[in-house]
Structure 1
């Protein structure tokens, strides 16, 4: 039994959503003798609002040393790994943010947690590189997983509008500055639409209509919104968040150094001009969409999870 320790977040996003999705996918595979469950230790009756099925939940603090393996996310690793070791419970650490490894924990306690983990998983090239840099002696037990994006949901609309989209919750000071910088120069035929307090379906619909997405990613494990925007046919301008470099494809993605507000604004206005003048190659975006669909496909995600289970069975 794989027991995923999970924070409480009513509207799951990012890492919490990945935890729920992985549990759902593992259970869907129906591997003999293998099940996955979610454990909310702060409130065993808590449930996140997610669209996934085939979910199991652990509702007590009774643990099976022989048949239960904890899956601990990186921000809880030092604390929960110590508890697991004291109880004799096997555990792995699932790292979804290479820059959150030391959050609320000191270097020594984090090292001990990773030292005794049976496996360490990661979901991006950048996280893998961070882990190898931090723990080169544990490289052999670092296992690469893959995330997928719903390309049937995130796709271009038949008719695109002159919309620029962005997420205000990401580096709000930066996004406010950029919008103020371009306010007097933005053509009246263009609109800026913030993506906030929307369902996933509403987000997908908005991205499908827009032409430009502004990325304010900050040290992400693997920021999915820029990928979703790209699949929906947007030009993506802004910060890679480091991990985004693995999908930052030419012509569709345009990197700006974090904090370079003036350059960010100049690139936006330049792309608007090119689009309005009919000088932008949208065929290249179609090629990139195919590349991203293959790179972040459900098949690769499932294969990674199946491989993870096989690795644990061998241990």
Structure 2
């Protein structure tokens, strides 16, 4: 069974990219013949170590730009020359293609004869590139669609509500081994500014304006490898989550794995791991409640640190119990066995 997993040519550090690589690695472990698709060698991810089997189909990305994205600003002559000389090799017509969820209704025209699966890592991007008065057939209703793979119960409910007849398979994400419980916690607050930066800016400035964070270090985590992020979280006591309509929302889970006390937004999908016994969920976009909760948590830690530390350890136990390699491998294997029944 040949399976190709289409991966966007992005050099940005994105967890969703790594999940595509991971899917290919595990499918090969299960005995499938799986390959990651990129357009060229320079597009391969360099921010984490991998030996993922891959292949290059530049013509497929040429079609992507012209059929789906439709934003190529090059001249007609340039595009004609590129079309004439580009390697037009495409996947075998009986191969299964895995597409991300972000390519909209026209994704069905890329490889119309191939059976395909949609790996939907964020259900809130399901209708990306759709119009308000959409008259194109949804790819989720295509005859050659085998089904969809999702990474949270929230995404599963979303797709099953919209497309009741769709085969939706939920898989579990597995935490990288580097995200382990940190034994020595400092008075340190960490957050990722790329998530709802306007809210992060307000919360950080509010707690500073009210002198709530005196004696605490505040660290913005950005442009770091997974190992560097884990290293930063090992001695962090409080992590601020700015999740926003996430398919899963991995950063707060990684912080919990390291024993951080997490405060912040669940981002919809986070309802399955934001448990009040070991973290503080905040109503989305309520920056005053957010800042006030940070202030109260700081005060509690300054008075009785062991209470907050124990909550962080409980959080670590919870996420390692649910989002581990065994659950990730078993759920992906089961998902593909069910998807391929239709084929």
TM-score (normalizing by structure 1): 0.90
SS of the residue 1:18 aligns to: helix
In structure 2, how many angstroms separate the alpha carbons of the residues matched to 1:181 and 1:313?
52
Q: Does 1:48 align with 2:38?
A: no
Kept in 1, the 8 Å contact 2:6–2:37? The answer is yes
Equivalences for residues 172-251 of structure 1 within 5 A: 172-184=197-209, 185-251=211-277
Q: Give the distance between the partners of 1:187 and 1:308, measured in 2 at CA.
A: 46
Give yes or no for the alignment of 1:263 onto 2:260: no
Aligned residue number for residue 55 of structure 2: 57
Distance 1:310 1:278, change over 3 A: same
C-alpha distance in 2 between matches for 1:40 and 1:110: 27
1:21 — aligned with what? 22
- Aligned mates of 1:45, 1:89 — CA distance in 2: 27
Counterpart-to-counterpart distance in 1, 2:195 and 2:136: 27
CA distance 1:311–1:284, shift in 2 (3 Å): same
Partners of 2:26 and 2:146 in 1: how far apart? 21
Instruction: After TM superposition, list the pairs within 5 Å mapping 1:150-189 onto structure 2.
Output: 150=176, 152-184=177-209, 185-189=211-215
In the alignment, the residues of structure 1 paired with residue 137 and residue 190 of structure 2 have an alpha-carbon distance, to the nearest angstrom, of: 40
Distance 1:161 1:114, change over 3 A: same
Q: Which runs of 5+ in 2 are unaligned?
A: 58-86
**Whole-Å separation in 2 of the counterparts to 1:44 and 1:109:** 37
CA distance in 1, matches of 2:131, 2:109: 13
**1:110 shift after superposition:** 7.0
Indicate yes or no: 2:298 matched with 1:272. Answer: yes
1:98 to 101, 109, 123: 123
> For residues 3 and 90 of structure 1, what CA distance do their matches in structure 2 show?
11
Decide whether aligned partners of structure 1 residues 186 and 303 sit closer, same or farther in structure 2, where only a CA change above 3 A counts. Answer: same
Q: Within 5 Å, give how 1:84-123 maps onto structure 2.
A: 84-85=111-112, 88-106=113-131, 108=134, 112-116=138-142, 117-123=145-151
| Cα distance, 1:12–1:178 mapped onto 2, change above 3 Å | closer
In the alignment, the residues of structure 2 paired with residue 81 and residue 109 of structure 1 have an alpha-carbon distance, to the nearest angstrom, of: 14
Q: CA deviation at 1:189?
A: 1.4
Deviation at 1:200, TM superposition (A): 1.5
Give distance in 1, aligned partners of 2:317 and 2:301: 22
Q: Does 1:298 pair with 2:295? A: no
Deviation at 1:121, TM superposition (A): 1.1
Per-residue CA distance 1:103-124 (angstroms, 9 max, x = gap):
1123756753101211111110
SS at 1:99's partner residue? helix
- Aligned partners of 2:13 and 2:288: how far apart in 1? 34
Instruction: Tell me how far apart the structure 2 counterparts of residues 287 and 40 of structure 1 sit (CA, whole Å).
Output: 40
For the 8 Å contact 2:279–2:315, the answer to whether it is kept is no
Pairs aligned (count): 305
Q: Give 1:252's aligned residue.
A: 278
How far apart in 2 are the matches of 1:110 and 1:286? Answer: 50
CA RMSD after TM alignment: 1.9
Contact 1:102 1:110 in 2 (8 A): no
